[in-house]
Structure 1
């Protein structure tokens, strides 16, 4: 298993979104910040909104994720709300090898060219960009300390925001790291926790019957797809773009299905959204309501019921003609992320008989061998990222707020308790994936509102406003 993220009325309501506007800019950054390969550079994209900026005001820099930066910019409305209060410049930086920031154009993912994709290179890109922004917008600001840059990020972007503050405290004053699983490595977190929380979300917002049906379905899918006729049935019933032909195709289907369950749990927001895909409010409940209509003990009937329920995620708008098992979101760079997960961000995950997933132990050798088959490189040492970024030894760092929704699978690797008086944690009891970075919504709970208040106060302190 591989991971790469009134109810009835809500299902039929039109989805409306705020649209944040930007000026799209590019900066030439070194292809490698750490080796002498000449003056090779490439264009890194970043988005700028100057609507709220007053000269001398801070810069709110979002450290881009594993996907098109526009997707994260349009789903981080809280940063714009803060900008109006702090007279801030808003900047969203795209991560190298994602979106339009491709060092080698359409050849960026060749095994020779992708080797410049790493967290260290990405962080250095952001430092390079910060210096450019400082020169343009803060050249006349007199300061004997760090310039007023605050890093923001959610999920992988939250990890980068925290690591940016840790590695380059001279570049950013502080970091808001939302849903950042910086402890989901090696033996820092039990490997079964991630899928355990995912199952808990389905049990809480769906029903125990939903969990049991999903748990039952793995063996049913395996049995049905043992024959060519069964593979054809599943392919047609689930409208797969590429029909199942081999056992490897079935394994891919299982991984795809597992990833969809994870994504449903992590973006189980209390209102309709268009983040990874278009979804209704509380999509886990909608999914389980559909699946719970399955009453028959017939295997093919279960496959059909699953196919109908899956359309909550795969085809909520009704516009999808077929389903591609290679992707779970149109704007995520899943191939590049898989490379990073192999070469440095090795996150051990396993499933047991206690959760709703197909039982699968964590086997590093198998994981590494799979990486070699796909990328021609064996996986990095599992403890490398801990040695690079400190693991749980965070007491020597400062000015970081880690926030986590406890109904988010990725909180399994999050910082859930204060580490020191300046490395702080705020938990959102009923929160999904980086919901606190989203714009205000009438359905926000008090837990979400309190987390945002916490962020405001931390930023005021960092900027010496209070």
Structure 2
């Protein structure tokens, strides 16, 4: 909590800017992207979900779809003798004999979170247009498709892209759908593979690595380019966020960094944010980066959209030269005051009574990451980050590059969670740095194949990790190799839809129509090749 003096200053600032009154419920979103181990702290406080970035909330659906299980080997490349049940769901509402299978990869979440896409989203759209069978396939280790008894380092060693891709291939080649007498396995039947975000990279990887099984694929916001330093995530927000809001963020970030470097102002600036007793400055500034992660939770559908980033910007107010003294001889801009009020209401006050700031927001104690029971679902995607994907959120390596997060957010801080959370096991050791070559060798920014569609959002903070990155080679958009950039879109905007398609925004209707058109064209080619024409 802030000091009495700090509260008085906040009261004065509320008078100056009424937009600073924020109800707690409007400040906290279900899923928050935060640098380093801070994300685990927020997860424990009930403020963050289990996903890294695939944070799209799904529209509620009253439709029900039958759930089935498919038996997978624990290890596709070595016989351990162990198997597990992988969940999947089926929609046959449009299926006609001879139709394709439209499969949606659920990625790093429970498959149940993806069921609305069977009802009104991309699977429903494509199945309706093609007479196809709709499928949602749950990823190993996520949801109820858990093959191990705990989440220790050793038990997680089968959680990698190679095993997970082999799961999908095995499923496609051998599944027998209950109630359907036809053989719908690949390659006998054309399968169209769809995924968004991490699952989008899997979609692209499946098309490249298993072309005989995956007839066509759509990679939406597919993060096919793994990186160690992922400073560009926040830079997209800097480029596309509201001008006044970004100005206020930068004013605060640069001012906080300067005040933290001075012994006289070090404690007062942290106290203003209600975090005077948070020991490590990196933990403090990582928490300040928390509201920026709400950018990727924006969506065109009001039922799915989060207003958290907009509320954050409103709370920061408009740029002005007002200065407020927070301690004798120490003054800050009004932007910093507003930012501090928001952080107090959104994060600091969530720390339970009797807990210290370090208990709630500290990340430097290795003992706090040692629980490995199956309830510790945060360990899953974090393990994939630490072993193969990287995506460590840091400040730009170039000190002259404009930024919206603190310069104290370094690689050493971001990857510290990997060493703390995953001590060497008897059978597996997490590498010092993720083996991003395992991802990038499949194609990275230049991944391409016939009947592989790349669909991205112009304002997606993950776009630098997709083939639409500014540093990727330019390519043409063709029916055989669609390359679509959705104007004004953030994260996999094409994945969700409405039952009344005409109620969707024009840009969403357009991308859905284009996806239907090129998938139908692909399937026409399949029929011709099958008939020998």
Whether these two folds match at TM > 0.5 is yes
Residues 166 and 215 (structure 1), Cα distance of their counterparts in 2 relative to 1, 3 Å cut: same
Deviations 1:309-337 (A, max 9, x none): 469988xxxx999997699xxx9953211
Greater mean deviation of Cα atoms: 305-314 or 194-203? 305-314
Extract unaligned runs of 5+ from structure 2. 1-34, 40-51, 327-331, 364-374, 424-429, 469-473, 528-533
Residues 434 and 20 (structure 1), Cα distance of their counterparts in 2 relative to 1, 3 Å cut: farther
Tell me the distance in 1 between the aligned counterparts of 2:351 and 2:94.
Answer: 39
Kept after mapping to 1: 8 A contact 2:291/2:312: no
Equivalent residue for 2:235?
196
Equivalent residue for 1:255?
286
Equivalent residue for 2:248?
210
Q: What is the TM-score of this pair, normalised by structure 2? A: 0.68
**Mapping 1:341-420, distance limit 5 Å:** 341-347=385-391, 350-352=394-396, 353-359=401-407, 363=411, 370-376=417-423, 377=430, 378-387=432-441, 389-395=442-448, 397-416=449-468, 417-418=474-475
Equivalent residue for 2:517?
457
Equivalent residue for 1:430?
488
Q: Is 1:30 aligned to 2:82, yes or no?
A: no
Deviations 1:208-255 (A, max 9, x none): 43333453464389589954x97677458xxxxxx96432xx534533
- For residue 435 of structure 1, give the secondary structure of its aligned residue in structure 2: coil
Kept after mapping to 2: 8 A contact 1:286/1:312: no
Deviation at 1:35, TM superposition (A): 1.3
Deviations 1:93-136 (A, max 9, x none): 1111212222124x1x1122111100111111112222343565
Kept after mapping to 1: 8 A contact 2:233/2:464: yes
Equivalent residue for 1:246?
279
Residues 41 and 313 (structure 1), Cα distance of their counterparts in 2 relative to 1, 3 Å cut: farther
Residues 391 and 438 (structure 1), Cα distance of their counterparts in 2 relative to 1, 3 Å cut: same
- For residue 86 of structure 2, give the secondary structure of its aligned residue in structure 1: strand
Kept after mapping to 1: 8 A contact 2:219/2:454: yes
Kept after mapping to 1: 8 A contact 2:273/2:344: no
Residues 116 and 400 (structure 1), Cα distance of their counterparts in 2 relative to 1, 3 Å cut: same
Deviation at 1:192, TM superposition (A): 4.2
Equivalent residue for 1:279?
306
**Mapping 1:45-444, distance limit 5 Å:** 45-74=87-116, 77-105=121-149, 107=150, 109-133=151-175, 140=182, 145-185=187-227, 192-203=231-242, 207-216=245-254, 218-219=256-257, 222=260, 227=267, 234=273, 245-247=278-280, 251-262=282-293, 264-274=294-304, 279-280=306-307, 283-292=308-317, 297-298=324-325, 305-306=338-339, 309=342, 333-347=377-391, 350-352=394-396, 353-359=401-407, 363=411, 370-376=417-423, 377=430, 378-387=432-441, 389-395=442-448, 397-416=449-468, 417-418=474-475, 422-440=480-498, 444=504
Question: When the two structures are aligned, how many residues end up with a matched partner?
Answer: 426
Extract unaligned runs of 5+ from structure 1. 6-14, 237-242
Tell me the distance in 1 between the aligned counterparts of 2:413 and 2:315.
Answer: 36
Residues 178 and 350 (structure 1), Cα distance of their counterparts in 2 relative to 1, 3 Å cut: same
Greater mean deviation of Cα atoms: 348-357 or 54-63? 348-357
Tell me the distance in 2 between the aligned counterparts of 1:113 and 1:142.
Answer: 33
Greater mean deviation of Cα atoms: 69-78 or 403-412? 69-78
Q: Which is higher, the Rg of structure 1 or of structure 2?
A: 2
Deviation at 1:431, TM superposition (A): 0.6
Deviation at 1:28, TM superposition (A): 2.0
Residues 325 and 152 (structure 1), Cα distance of their counterparts in 2 relative to 1, 3 Å cut: farther
Tell me the distance in 2 between the aligned counterparts of 1:19 and 1:312.
Answer: 35
Kept after mapping to 1: 8 A contact 2:174/2:185: no
Residues 111 and 463 (structure 1), Cα distance of their counterparts in 2 relative to 1, 3 Å cut: same
Kept after mapping to 1: 8 A contact 2:278/2:284: no
- For residue 98 of structure 1, give the secondary structure of its aligned residue in structure 2: coil
Greater mean deviation of Cα atoms: 96-105 or 114-123? 96-105
Kept after mapping to 1: 8 A contact 2:68/2:88: yes
Kept after mapping to 2: 8 A contact 1:148/1:172: yes
Residues 136 and 214 (structure 1), Cα distance of their counterparts in 2 relative to 1, 3 Å cut: farther
Equivalent residue for 2:531?
none
Kept after mapping to 2: 8 A contact 1:436/1:452: yes
Residues 32 and 142 (structure 1), Cα distance of their counterparts in 2 relative to 1, 3 Å cut: closer
Tell me the distance in 2 between the aligned counterparts of 1:326 and 1:29.
Answer: 39
- For residue 80 of structure 1, give the secondary structure of its aligned residue in structure 2: helix
Tell me the distance in 2 between the aligned counterparts of 1:221 and 1:279.
Answer: 32
